[in-house]
Structure 1
Amino acid sequence: MSSDLDQQLATTLKHHAGGDIDPAPIVEHARRRGHRLRLRRRWLMTGGTAAACVVLAAAVMVVPSGRAPEGVTMSATALVLPDAPGQPGAIARPEAVGADPGVVHFTTDSLISGASSATWSAGRGVESVEFRGPTGQARFALARSVATLDGLQQTLSSAGRPQPPTDVRVGGRPGVAWFDPSGDRKLWFVRWQPVDGLWAQLDIYATGRDEATDAASRVRFDGARRCVVPFRLRSLPPGGRLLGCSVTLSRSDHGSFDEASLTVGDDSGRWLTVRAQPVPGRDAREADLVAGPYRARRQGSDVLEMFVEPCVVEAFLKGWGNGYTEPEGLTVLSGYQPVRDLDNPDTW
């Protein structure tokens, strides 16, 4: 297998050599954070003193709403997805990886135990988790083809000078590892086949090859987790179905739910993404569109937005979508149904 990996990686490294990291993920992350901050600022400015008092009162009375009181330490399982009873791990069913947006066919409990946040994704041919913490950042991805892994955007910063791969073993299976300088750290890439028909890759900042491969060996493929979000989409366009799931969990005084999204699409290649993020209060701008029981508005030319307490909900028709019309987006939003407890993924 090593020779196959070497040949495939040579093509990949040649393609990326000398290039900088794709800035798109970083820009998108900054845009999302900036948008949330603007919502908070806009709400406080329009709400006046009375609204600010309501916020303070709500901040004190956080327990009934399901949010963790300030200063409470999140449990060790705060970033872990719920179990998927009856679902096999990747070793037992390699063909199921990336095919069901509701299931992640691997577990990384020990690997993310010290992280402060984790983003889980499943569907459209790939499953992944990206986690961040005081000591750094890493991403693990699992797919049924090398091409799928090569098609993923690099999300961790590097110098764009990948070094030649060397042979390694991960959990007794042969693989390869290479690194890319990143300031005083090295970004290591470890790629291997945990079972025939599957390809796995861990991108991680590490002091050396042994540390990187040891981290990779802590991923397990004999269990499965549910990729869950705190809402349902009950109204899909004709032929539409769920294609992808993504959820970010964090250890925070403000609760474990950070954001989540579902991707809807059909066999013609059309798709759109619905994302929900908690915000501290209602945005005061006028909403002039109707989405079932909700009021929505346009955010630019390709995003629909509405407020369903306590979340801002967006439907991306372009960029994070392709081919769906505004009326179809409003139909999808009309079927948005939130769960009651945002911070208990077991109930999602």
Structure 2
Amino acid sequence: MTDLDQRITSALRERAESNVDTDRLTAGAVTRGRSRVRRRRAVAGTALGVAALLGVGVATGPIGLPFPGQPATSTASAGGAVAPPPADGVPGAAARPDQIGADPAVLHFGVAPDGPRYLSWAVQDGVERVRVGVGGDRTVTVEIAGSAGRLLATSVDGLPMATSVDGLPMVVAAPERPGAFAGAVTHETVSGKSIWLRHWQPAPGVYARASVTAENHQDLLDVAPALRLDRAYRCAAPVQLTALPEGARVVGCEVTLANFPATFSASLVLARGQADRMRVELGYDNDSAGTRAKGNRTIGDRPAYLSPQGDQLELLGLPKAHLVASFGGSYRGFTEADATKVLGGARVAEDLTRPETW
């Protein structure tokens, strides 16, 4: 373990063991007016008290709070912003924490309509994640999982992975440490950048982590009330896969919309067994003159192009878009024939810039 890793681990352990007055925090969550007063006082005094307060009571409620700087009448779709559509009939994370990350097509949490703008959403390896814009170029990443270990084994944007005693990758103290998810806000400087982290449990059985690169941790506190754990959403993407190789299944979904509608991307990850992986990505660029004109393969009656390395296959003919299956490098175990089958059955939205058709 490096000196940096040791500092991260020791800092988190030290703050995670701080005492938290849970009775006071619960009372504050029940009485909304009092909780607001306490939050204001706590922000001026101690970050840990505020973080714990925000972690109790608002994340599971049915009403989202307006995001600072936004009018209460704003919506998630205003100004070209896009939000994942509701997954009707599917319970949220608060009701079924055991389902978090179980279905790559479903997010069991999200952001309230009056909350910050979605930049991306994803489900991968048992962890669900959203990235939201909070002003300027600052981005808050919020992740949830149904177990502490699952979340702690997932890398944090901008932070190196530490190694626990048992050799597993970790980014905080081992999950069995008391208070590891008590709401502590921690800080580290990496390559001159100030990174803030918060670990907490917004509902029983739900483990959450938020991170931001900024001058202070205020963004973490502002985003927390906008989180919704009482409903589920679809990991909607502009491409669907209808033909999979034998034994394969979709295990990951990610949509990135930071510059929508000018540019955006969506990717689906396939798995077979323990090691076989393939990634299918659709990338859109409104300023693109077009895709590659000439192919060296054919998929059905459409041209395709196999990379010189033989590890990427692109389906041609999509205006301003690229649809590529990657099965080499870190993605392995699948073949060109597998990629041909997947791309041959891919369904791409007729109008990529209309998310309601995804």
Q: Indicate which of 187, 190, 195 corresponds to 1:187.
A: 195
% identical aligned pairs: 28
Contact 1:138 1:202 in 2 (8 A): yes
CA distance, structure 1, for counterparts of residue 207 and residue 148 of structure 2: 6
Q: What residue is the counterpart of 1:258 in the other structure?
A: 264
Write the letter of the residue equivalent to 1:328: D
Q: Indicate which of 309, 314, 317 corresponds to 1:305.
A: 314
Query: Which secondary structure state, in structure 2, belongs to the residue aligned with residue 122 of structure 1?
Result: strand
Q: Indicate which of 189, 192, 201 corresponds to 2:209.
A: 201
Contact 2:122 2:253 in 1 (8 A): yes
CA distance, structure 2, for counterparts of residue 157 and residue 125 of structure 1: 20
Structure-2 change in CA distance of 1:16 and 1:179 (3 Å):
closer
Query: Which secondary structure state, in structure 2, belongs to the residue aligned with residue 263 of structure 1?
Result: strand
* Structure 1 unmatched ranges of 5 or more: 1-9, 18-73
- The offset of 1:112, in angstroms, is 5.6
- The offset of 1:306, in angstroms, is 2.4
CA distance, structure 1, for counterparts of residue 245 and residue 204 of structure 2: 37
TM-score by structure 1 length?
0.68
CA distance, structure 1, for counterparts of residue 317 and residue 154 of structure 2: 32
- More deviation, 264-273/189-198: 264-273
- The offset of 1:240, in angstroms, is 1.7
CA distance, structure 2, for counterparts of residue 325 and residue 84 of structure 1: 34
Structure-2 change in CA distance of 1:242 and 1:269 (3 Å):
same
* Structure 2 unmatched ranges of 5 or more: 13-76, 163-170, 174-178
Write the letter of the residue equivalent to 1:221: L
**Is 2:85 aligned against 1:82?**
yes
TM-score by structure 2 length?
0.66
Contact 2:293 2:316 in 1 (8 A): no
Equivalence map 1:222-241=2 (5 Å): 222-241=230-249
CA RMSD of aligned residues (A): 3.5
- The offset of 1:232, in angstroms, is 1.6
Q: Deviations over 1:141-173 (max 9, x none)?
A: 111223332332332379x9x999xxxx9xxx9
Query: Which secondary structure state, in structure 2, belongs to the residue aligned with residue 215 of structure 1?
Result: helix
- The offset of 1:12, in angstroms, is 9.3
- More deviation, 89-98/145-154: 145-154
Equivalence map 1:273-312=2 (5 Å): 273-279=279-285, 280-284=288-292, 286-299=294-307, 300-310=309-319, 311-312=321-322
The alignment of Structure 1 onto Structure 2 pairs a total of residues equal to 272
Contact 2:282 2:324 in 1 (8 A): yes
**Is 2:147 aligned against 1:138?**
no
Equivalence map 1:158-197=2 (5 Å): 174-181=182-189, 186-197=194-205
Contact 2:187 2:197 in 1 (8 A): yes
Write the letter of the residue equivalent to 2:197: F
**Is 2:342 aligned against 1:347?**
no
Contact 1:120 1:128 in 2 (8 A): yes
Structure-2 change in CA distance of 1:287 and 1:125 (3 Å):
same
- The offset of 1:207, in angstroms, is 4.5
CA distance, structure 1, for counterparts of residue 337 and residue 208 of structure 2: 40
Q: Deviations over 1:153-205 (max 9, x none)?
A: 332379x9x999xxxx9xxx932220113688632101111223221100013
